């Protein structure tokens, strides 16, 4: 399965997607889990991630809790990020990983 | 003419002095601090703001949905009542701002419907009761008036508390930790089926305004 993850160009040399999984939970909500690792040895990386959810017709589902989440990774550090869909109508998704400094104003949408 | 110029220069100097003094008072820019990575910095205020509530709401809703506490056997929705939310900080906080985004997200999840007829301290929307006073009115078609026994009692209640802890850092900056705690209680048994805590830590100059 192709990973629906978009990483900002400036971060592609710094970050690595180490794992990716998705499942349809018994409670009717889709769940995605992915691992991100900082490839740099002597440098920390700050980034934002956001999961966009889409219904069966491809329309984006908006939510009050839609937000870009800031993440800090120390040198060589890896974090597993787990997100559950905000609605049972969400059947597909896109994970966006953005540069923190370029997009910090997007934390508040 | 010279007098007027001197007065203008004096005014300009006073203004400049004021700006310099104000900038001096502002101190270092407040920033978020990650307890595991204290060196990380993200510009913000020392007080709780809209984005903090969004973060807390998102974490709470994600945690509740993942826990399965809101998965009703056989499907359907639970009825949720909003209980007390205590503000134990030095800030004046509109707790409804925090609660509302949680309510909206939970409603969207299809797991919960919130009652506005029952709330700690009185009904949130008193119209449910007001409309029932029309039962004896000849002016209203009685078939359109809510009958007795139609309201649905809540299954769960959501309560919360925000706690603030303030400390002075070795460099003179102030560190403020906010603990946003939420509890989901099964009303029939009184047992807490889910509990969550979001910690928001910030640091900045003690001279910067945070409340």
* Segment B147-160, tens digit of pLDDT: 999 999 999 999 99
Q: Which residue has the higher pLDDT, B28 or B99?
A: B99
- Please answer whether residues A75 and A38 qualify as being in contact, where contact means their C-beta atoms are separated by less than 8 angstroms: yes
Full set of structural domains in chain A with CATH: 5-102 (2.60.40.3230)
Instruction: Give the DSSP H or E segment for B174.
Output: strand B174-186
pLDDT band at B171 (very low <50, low <70, confident <90, very high): confident
Say how far apart CA A86 and CA A62 lie, in whole Å: 9
Domain CATH number, residue B163: 3.40.50.10610
Phi, psi of A98 (to 5 degrees): -115, 160
Closest CA in chain B for residue A109? B51
Q: Supply the range of the domain harboring residue B57.
A: 52-116+156-204
- CA B40/CA A70 separation, integer angstroms: 11
pLDDT digits (tens, 9 = 90+) for B89-143: 988 888 888 898 889 889 989 999 999 999 988 888 999 999 999 998 999 999 9
Per DSSP, A65 falls in state T
Q: What interface predicted TM-score (ipTM) does this complex get?
A: 0.74
Q: Which residues of B touch A27 (CB under 8 A)?
A: 65, 68, 70-71, 111
CA-wise closest residue to A69 among B14, B198, B55, B78: B55
Does residue B16 form part of some domain? no
C-beta atoms of A64 and B40 within 8 A: no
C-beta atoms of A70 and B50 within 8 A? no
Looking at the structure of chain B, the number of domains it has is 1
CB contact under 8 A, B104 and A31: no
**Contact, A53 vs A7, CB < 8 A?**
no
Residue B67 belongs to some domain of the structure: yes
Does residue B197 lie within any of the structural domains?
yes
State the nearest Cα–Cα gap between A104 and chain B, in angstroms: 8
Q: Report pLDDT for B115.
A: 95
Q: At A63, is the pLDDT very low, low, confident or very high (cuts 50, 70, 90)?
A: confident
The answer to whether the Cα torsion of B38, B52, A36, A24 is positive or negative is positive
Q: B11 to chain A, minimum CA–CA distance in Å?
A: 37
């Amino acid at each position: 399965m192709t990973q629906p993850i978009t990483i900002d160009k400036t971060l592609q040399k710094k970050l690595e997607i180490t794992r990716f999984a998705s499942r349809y939970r018994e409670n009717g909500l889709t769940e995605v889990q992915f691992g991100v690792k900082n490839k740099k040895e002597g440098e920390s990386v700050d980034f934002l991630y956001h999961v966009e959810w889409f219904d069966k017709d491809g329309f984006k589902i908006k939510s009050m809790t839609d937000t870009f989440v800031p993440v800090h990774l120390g040198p060589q550090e890896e974090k597993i990020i787990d997100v559950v869909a905000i609605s049972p109508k969400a059947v597909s998704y896109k994970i966006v990983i953005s540069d923190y400094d370029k997009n910090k104003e997007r934390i508040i949408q | 003419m010279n007098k007027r110029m001197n007065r203008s220069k004096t005014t300009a100097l006073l203004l400049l002095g004021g700006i310099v003094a104000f900038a001096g008072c502002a101190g270092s820019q407040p920033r978020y601090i990650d307890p595991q990575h204290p060196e990380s910095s993200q510009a913000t205020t020392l007080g709780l703001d809209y984005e903090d509530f969004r973060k807390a709401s998102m974490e709470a809703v994600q945690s509740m949905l993942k826990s399965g506490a809101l998965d009703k056997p056989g499907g359907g929705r639970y009825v949720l009542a909003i209980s007390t939310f205590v503000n134990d900080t030095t800030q004046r906080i509109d707790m409804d701002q925090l609660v509302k985004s949680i309510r909206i997200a939970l409603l969207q999840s299809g797991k919960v419907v919130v009652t506005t007829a029952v709330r700690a301290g009185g009904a949130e929307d008193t119209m449910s009761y007001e409309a029932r006073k029309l039962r004896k009115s000849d002016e209203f078609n009685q078939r359109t008036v809510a009958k007795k026994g139609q309201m649905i009692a809540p299954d769960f209640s959501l309560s919360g508390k925000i706690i603030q802890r303030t400390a002075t850092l070795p460099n003179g900056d102030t560190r403020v930790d906010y603990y946003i705690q939420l509890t989901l209680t099964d009303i029939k048994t009184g047992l807490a089926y889910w509990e969550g805590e979001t910690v928001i830590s910030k640091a900045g100059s003690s001279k910067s305004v945070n409340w």
